[in-house]
Amino acid sequence: MIGWLLAAPALCVMAFGFLLPVGVLLRMSLNRTDEMGAMREAVSLDTYGRLLSDDLNLSMASDTLQLGLGCAAAAVALALPVTLSIRAAPPAWRGALALAAVAPLLVSGTARIIGWLAILGDSGLVNAVLSWAGLPAQRLINNWTGVQIGLTESLMPYAVLVLLAGLGRLDPRLDEAAATLGASRSRVFWRVTLPLAVPALLAAFVLCLVLGISAFITPRLMGGGRVFVVATEIYDLALQTVDWPAAAAMAMLLLGGLVVLGGVRAVMARR
Amino acid sequence: MAETHLALSGLTRRFGANPPAVDALTLEVPRGALLALLGPSGCGKTTSLRLIAGLERADAGSVRVAGRDVTDLAPEARNMGVVFQSYALFPHMSAAGNVGFGLETRRLSRAERAARVAEALAMVGLADFAQRKPRALSGGQQQRVALARALAIQPDLLLLDEPLSALDAQLRDGVREEIRALQRRLGTTAVFVTHDQAEALAMADLVAVMDRGKLEQCAPPEALFDAPATPFVAGFVGRSSRFEGQVEAPGRIRIAGRLFGATETPAPGPAQVFVRPHRITLAEAGDLPARVTNRVFEGATALLTLDTPIGPLLAEVAAADPFRPGDAGFATLPPTALRVFPL
C-alpha cells in the first residue's frame, strides 16, 4: 500500500506523459487518409496495411534494425574493456573513471554530434590526418558510416553503466582463484570473466538495441538527410508529409517492436 | 624436524601512508607442517597469506618455497592451492568443472584429468556431487569443493583463508579434523589464517601470532600457551589474569604490596604479570586470601573468579571442588606460573 502511494507521483507522470499520448496515437493510427491527404475519422487498419505493403518501408525497417544491431554490438564490445579496466583500477580511482566513462551523457546529444562533425567532416580532423599521410579523403558524415560512428558512441555510456552494474556483482576473488589455479590472464578472461559477464552483456546489448532503433537525433544530424530510419521517417510523415495516421501507425509499429524486444529481454533474464 | 619448506624473510607490505599492513615478517615452516597465522582482525594475517600466494606484491622481503625464490612470480606461476574465505567457486561450472579447472592448463590426457578430478572429489567425500553447480551445494559441500580444487593441482603449498569461518559451529569441528587429516595424509605444507585461537591451537603444528602487522611469536601450540614470548601473546592466547607490579630483585616481584616469587623475571623495575587460571590452587590455607565471586561450570572443571587483595584472579579448579560464590579460602600462585614482562 505504502509502495503504491510512493509510486503515485511517478505513475501520474507516466499516465499523462506516456500512456495518454500513446492512446491518442493509437486512436489516430486507426484513422484513414484520403486521396487529397486529408485525415478522415475511421476505425480501420488500412494505414497499417498501406505501410506494411510498401517495400520502401520494409527495407527502411530492415536498415533500422541492422543499424541498431550493429551499433549495439559495437557499443557493447567497446564498453566491455572500458568496464573491465574500471573494475581493475584501484578503488580510489574507480568512481572518477566510471564518471569519465559516462560523462558523454552529461553533454547534450546535439553538442556531441557537432563535435563529431568537426572530427569526421570533409575537412575535419580525420581527413586532415589522412591527407597529411597521403591517403585519399573519406566521406565520414552525411551517410551511414557517420550515423554508425555517432550512434555507437552515443550508446556506449549506457552499455558501460549496465556492464558496471552487472560485473560489479562478480566476486573479484574468482579472478584470483583462477590465477592461483594456473590460469593466465587471457585464460581467466575467456573461461571465467566472459562467461559470467554474459547476462550483463545481453542486458547491455538489448538496452543499446532499443535505444539505437529508436534513435532520432543522430541519424537525422549525422545522416545529413540521406539516411532514413524509422524514427526519422515518423518525423517526416508527421511534419513534412503531414500524414498523421501514417506517422501514428509507424510509431505504434516501432513501439510494438520495442515491446517485443523488452519481452525477449525479460524472458532471458529469468533463465 | 623436517627441512624448511616455506621461508618468509622480512616480508613487508604497505598500503598508502598507513603503518605497514605486514611489517618485516620472518618465519620458517618445515615440510609437511601446518602453520596457523593467528591474530585479531586487521593484524595483517590475510595480507600475509595473499603475499605468499602472490595476490599482493611485496614492498620488501622474500618468499621462498623449497629453496626457490618466488617473490616476483605471478600467482599463476606459483603452484599454490588457495582456499578463499568466500570459497570463490566458479558459479558457472559444476563441482567437477571447478576441480578440473586447475588441471586444464597441464599436459594431461582427458582420461587422466577426469581421473584426478574424480580422485580429488572422492577425497573430500563428494564423488556423488560432481555434476552439481555450486549454488546447488550446501556451505560445507562448497567448502570441500574449494578444498578439492586447491588440492587437485598437487600444490607446493596449500593456503587457507579463514576456511571455517563461513560454516556453522556444528560443522566446524568435523571439517577441521578432515582438513587436518587430509593435509597430513598428502604431506602438503599448509598455511591457514584464523582469528580463532582454539582452532589454531587445535589444528596447527606451528602458530604464528601477529599483531599490527608484526610477528609476535611463532611456536608450537604448547610452547605458545606455556611460554608466551610477549605480553600480547600472553594476553591473546588462552585465558589469564594480568597484574602490574614491581620487580624488586631477581625472582621477586611485588604486587599491591605483597611479595611473590617468580622463576623468571626481567631486570628490576615496573612489570606486568600473567597467570594462567589452571596453575592456581585454592585451599583452606595458602599465601593469598581469596573470596569466590563467580563460578562458571565447564564440565570437568569450573572457572572461579576470585576477589583478592591484588585484584580479580581467575582460577580453574576441578568441578568437584566445593568452593561456591561467597566462600573464602587461600589461593596459591606457584613461582613457575608467573609470566613476568617489563612494563
CATH code assigned to B239-342:
2.40.50.100
Residues of chain A with pLDDT under 70: 271
- Per-residue model confidence (pLDDT) at position A168: 85
Domain count within chain A: 1
Residues B38/B195, Cβ–Cβ less than 8 Å: yes
From the CA atom positions of chain B, what is the Rg in Å? 24
Q: Within a domain: residue A196? A: yes
- Per-residue model confidence (pLDDT) at position A133: 93
- For A89, the domain range is 55-114+153-270
Instruction: Name the grid cell of B305.
Output: 573468579
Q: Does B15 touch chain A (CB under 8 A)?
A: no
Residue B289, φ and ψ in degrees, nearest 5: -60, 135
Q: Within a domain: residue A162? A: yes
Cell 588441471, residue located: B103
Q: Within a domain: residue A253? A: yes
* Percent with pLDDT over 90 in chain B: 83
Residues of B in contact with A201 (CB under 8 A): none
Q: How many CB atoms lie within 10 A of CB A197?
A: 19
Residues of A in contact with B105 (CB under 8 A): 182-184, 187
Q: Within a domain: residue A252? A: yes
| DSSP label at residue B83 | E
Classify domain B4-233 at the CATH topology level: Rossmann fold (3.40.50)
How far away is chain A from the Cα of B119, in angstroms, using its nearest Cα?
Answer: 17
* CA neighbor of B197 nearest in space, from B156, B158, B154, B240: B240
User: What's the pLDDT tens digit per position in B22-78?
Assistant: 999 999 999 999 999 999 998 999 999 999 999 999 999 999 999 999 999 999 999
Instruction: Name the grid cell of B293.
Output: 565471586
Q: Within a domain: residue A187? A: yes
User: What's the pLDDT tens digit per position in B131-148?
Assistant: 999 999 998 899 999 999
Taking the whole predicted model, whether its pTM rises above 0.90 is answered as no
pLDDT tier, B171 (very low <50, low <70, confident <90, very high otherwise): confident
Contact B81 A195 (CB under 8 A): no
pLDDT tier, B1 (very low <50, low <70, confident <90, very high otherwise): low
Question: In the predicted model, what is the mean pLDDT of chain B?
Answer: 93
Contact A182 B79 (CB under 8 A): yes
Q: Sign of torsion, CA B203 B61 A186 A95?
A: positive
B67-75 LR contacts (CB < 8 Å, sep 24+):
B74/A179, B75/A176, B75/A179, B75/A180
Instruction: Name the grid cell of A99.
Output: 564518471
Q: Where are the domains of chain B?
A: 4-233, 239-342
Amino acid at B23: D
CATH of the domain at A81: 1.10.3720.10
- Per-residue model confidence (pLDDT) at position A271: 67
Q: What is the ipTM of this complex?
A: 0.85
Facing residue for B76 by CB, picked from A183, A191, A196 = A183
Amino acid at B65: V
